[in-house]
């Protein structure tokens, strides 16, 4: 059984094959998974918000725009090369629907968009995504083969 | 868990101005509010409902799901945003088994183990929470003379972590820690429990303290 590294909200970590990165219960948050197919270095970030621009926070893992560069940097130190990295993402759901047109309720959608923009900014190709909807996801990312496993409560499980 | 009220702790900038004494005062108002909530719930269910003395926790976001038994635990959650001079968020979480018993009691039906709660049941559960929230906020409002205006509650049944992260995102801009006031409501006979979380937004706790004249 490969070692599983758990990642909490607003956190990130790096794994080497055959380790597995896991984050449980993604709602509006987005799990960003990066992988270097040559050195089999994998990284995962669990971001909560799209942009760090209004915050006073010191935690770069919390925002899409700051988590991506930080994750690349950490992966680089473990042997990944930026130009080889590919990405898979999951999450960004809208868990609650309010009657009012509440902007904060679209946080999931905004998170997913911000993650894609952050990946584009550093020219990392997005291979697959499972985003949106109104359900939670638990994800596991395999450093060995770059497969991303997505589990839900009512909609089964799949690999992307 | 962080030691509350320790001044100047860089890890919790959002709550650095709140003293232990103020948190005690906040807990005291919470106890009275939750008492009103329990009474309302008891009348609705026509059963005796007990409540725990509210606990106040300041936790890093990653640890919040552990409070309800882990991020993957299946729960029914009702989320209400509270507007006004001291905005807050309220999340009421029920383990799915408790939610079924509670709704079954109200609707006079019984849900099977593999059966989901139907739309009418969901609406009933949201309404129960609305009434408990109302009782709680009324009490908070009369203590502080501040207006607390709750939104229509929204319900979701899913992983606890997935429901919590939407709520935590509301306060995530201002810090990395959540101040939770938690009360557990329970009905002993059929073991129905619900966790009531009040999460004040940045600055709200200070406003509440100011309103009741409790200085740090």
What's A152's domain CATH number? 3.30.1330.200
Which residues make Cβ contacts (< 8 Å) with residue B92, sequence separation at least 6? B77, B78, B80, B129, B132, B133, B194, B195, B196, B197
Domains of chain B (ranges; CATH) run: 13-211 (3.40.1550.10)
**Residue B166 and residue A136: Cβ atoms within 8 Å?**
no
The C-alpha angle with vertex B183 and arms to B180 and B188, in degrees rounded to 5, equals 155
Q: Could you tell me if B150 lies within 8 Å of chain A, comparing CB atoms?
A: no
Q: Which burial class, exposed, middle or buried, applies to B145 when counting CB atoms under 10 A from its CB (0-12, 13-18, 19+)? A: exposed
Q: Does ipTM come in above 0.95? A: no
Provide the pLDDT for residue A105: 65
Q: Could you tell me if B169 lies within 8 Å of chain A, comparing CB atoms?
A: yes
Search chain B and give the residue with CA nearest A46.
B62
Q: Which residues does A contribute to its contact with B (CB < 8 Å)?
A: 8-11, 24-29, 48-49, 54-59, 62, 93-100, 102, 104-105, 107-108, 134-138, 153
Containing structural domain, residue A80: 4-159
**Residue B172 and residue A134: Cβ atoms within 8 Å?**
no
Q: Could you tell me if B10 lies within 8 Å of chain A, comparing CB atoms?
A: yes
A33 labelled catalytic: no
Provide the pLDDT for residue B1: 37
Give just the sign of the alpha carbon dihedral A18, A23, A25, A28: negative
Q: Pick the catalytic residue from A15, A20, A21, A29.
A: A29
Q: Is B145 left (phi over 0), alpha (psi -120 to 50) or beta?
A: left
Provide the pLDDT for residue A117: 95
Provide the pLDDT for residue B3: 39
Q: Could you tell me if B74 lies within 8 Å of chain A, comparing CB atoms?
A: yes
Provide the pLDDT for residue B132: 86
Mean pLDDT of residues grouped by 10 in chain B (216 residues)? 39 62 82 85 83 83 84 92 91 89 83 82 90 88 90 92 89 78 78 83 84 76
Provide the pLDDT for residue B5: 37
Tell me the C-alpha distance between A34 and A89, whole Å: 9
* Owner of token pair 């984050």: A23
For chain A, the first-to-last Cα distance in angstroms comes to: 21
- Interface size, chain A vs chain B, as Cβ–Cβ contacts under 8 Å: 119
**Residue B154 and residue A10: Cβ atoms within 8 Å?**
no
Give just the sign of the alpha carbon dihedral A51, A52, A56, A62: positive
A29: chain B residues, CB-CB within 8 Å: 165, 169
Search chain B and give the residue with CA nearest A52.
B173
Provide the pLDDT for residue B55: 83
Tell me the C-alpha distance between B12 and A93, whole Å: 28
Q: For A141-157, b where at least 16 C-beta lie within 10 A, e where not — what string? A: bbbeebbbbbbbbeeee
B81: chain A residues, CB-CB within 8 Å: 102, 104
**Residue ranges for chain A with pLDDT beneath 70:** 1, 54-57, 99-105
**Which among B21, B39, B58 has a CA at the least distance from the CA of B182?**
B58
Measure B36 CA to nearest chain A CA, in Å: 26
Q: How many structural domains comprise chain A? A: 1
pLDDT tens digits, residue range A110-150?
999 999 999 999 999 999 999 999 999 999 999 999 999 99
Which residues make Cβ contacts (< 8 Å) with residue A104, sequence separation at least 6? B81, B169, B170
Do residues A29 and A48 make contact, with C-beta atoms less than 8 angstroms apart?
A: yes
């Amino acid at each position: 059984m490969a070692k599983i590294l758990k990642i909490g909200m607003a956190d990130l970590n790096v794994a080497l094959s055959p380790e597995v990165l896991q984050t449980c219960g993604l709602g509006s948050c987005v799990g960003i998974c990066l992988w270097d197919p040559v050195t089999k270095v994998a990284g995962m970030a669990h971001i909560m918000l799209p942009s760090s621009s209004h915050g006073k926070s010191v935690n770069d893992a919390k925002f899409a725009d700051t988590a991506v560069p930080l994750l690349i940097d950490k992966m680089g130190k473990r042997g990944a090369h930026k130009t080889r990295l590919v990405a898979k993402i999951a999450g960004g759901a809208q868990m609650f629907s309010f009657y009012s047109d509440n902007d904060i309720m679209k946080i999931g959608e905004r998170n997913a968009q911000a993650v894609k923009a952050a990946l584009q900014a550093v020219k990392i190709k997005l291979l697959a995504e499972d985003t949106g909807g109104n359900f939670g996801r638990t994800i596991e990312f395999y450093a060995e083969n770059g497969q991303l496993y997505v589990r839900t409560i009512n909609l089964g499980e799949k690999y992307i | 868990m962080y030691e509350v009220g320790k001044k100047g702790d860089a890890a919790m900038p959002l709550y650095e101005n709140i003293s232990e004494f103020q948190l005690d005062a906040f807990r005291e108002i919470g106890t009275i509010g939750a008492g009103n909530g329990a009474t309302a719930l008891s009348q609705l269910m026509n059963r005796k409902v007990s409540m725990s003395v509210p606990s106040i926790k300041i936790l890093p976001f990653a640890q919040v799901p552990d409070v309800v038994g882990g991020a993957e635990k299946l729960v029914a959650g009702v989320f209400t945003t509270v507007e006004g001079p001291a905005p807050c968020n309220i999340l009421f979480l029920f383990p799915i088994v408790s939610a079924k018993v509670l709704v079954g009691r109200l609707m006079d039906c019984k849900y099977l183990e593999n059966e989901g709660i139907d739309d009418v049941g969901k609406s009933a559960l949201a309404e129960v929470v609305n009434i408990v929230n109302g009782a709680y906020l009324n009490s908070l409002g009369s203590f502080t003379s501040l207006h607390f205006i709750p939104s229509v509650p929204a319900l979701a049944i899913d992983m606890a972590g997935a429901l919590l992260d939407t709520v935590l995102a509301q306060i995530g801009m201002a810090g990395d820690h959540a101040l939770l006031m938690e009360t557990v409501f329970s009905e002993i006979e059929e073991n129905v429990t619900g966790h009531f979380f009040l999460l004040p937004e940045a600055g709200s706790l200070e406003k509440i303290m100011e309103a009741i004249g409790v200085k740090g």
